[in-house]
Amino acid sequence: MLTIGLGYDIHPLTRAGTLILAGVAVEGRCGPEREGADDDVVSHAVIDALCGALRPAIGVRSIDDYFHQADDPHGGIEFLARFQPQLAKSSLDVLSLDCVITLRDGPIAPVASAMATALAKALAVNHRRVGVKAKTGNGCDDAGRGRAVAAEVVILANLA
């Protein structure tokens, strides 16, 4: 059965620090609002999309349904590894993952390929099935004004 999952996350930024997206450091003029914050919005959006795609098999709708506060879901891309047992158990085959990152001041294009490769490795899928692209937000909303970073992810998968 074909299934689709959609994930979204947004986090506030400050003007100092290094931003981690899909496990890759994005050098620029912005970083997480708090030191040690779970700033990897891409990984969190991927987990939400996986939960959506897995909903028919395991009944969860979002990251909050699968990982409880006590689990401390602040590990970024390493956190995706905790999904591997569910992916194997449900026989979910990710056919395509597409990610759009909205970040006004971040140079995403030079590291988009590295992000796609990191996500593919974390999900144990061929890197050609993963796409990462960026938008500036054109001054609309907090991400477009440089006050936040946002990620949207859609996953098309086959659920056996």
In whole angstroms, give the CA distance from residue 138 to residue 125.
Answer: 33
Does 27 or 39 have the greater pLDDT score? 27
pLDDT > 70: percent of the chain:
81
CATH number at residue 130: 3.30.1330.50
Averaged pLDDT for residues 67-94: 70
Are 16 and 31 in contact by the 8 Å Cβ rule? The answer is yes
Encode pLDDT of 101-138 as tens digits.
998 877 788 899 999 999 999 998 999 999 999 988 88
Measure CA of the first residue to CA of the last residue in the chain; give whole Å.
6
The residue that leads in pLDDT, 69 or 13, is: 13
Lowest-confidence segment of 9-13, 14-18, 87-91, 110-114 by average pLDDT: 14-18
**Residue showing tokens 């689709």:** 4
> Which stretches within 59-108 are classed as H helix?
63-66, 84-90
pTM summary value: 0.87
Q: Which amino acid is at 44?
A: H
How many domains would you assign to the chain?
A: 1
Q: 54 is in which domain, residue-wise?
A: 2-159
pLDDT in tens, 52-68: 898 877 766 666 665 55
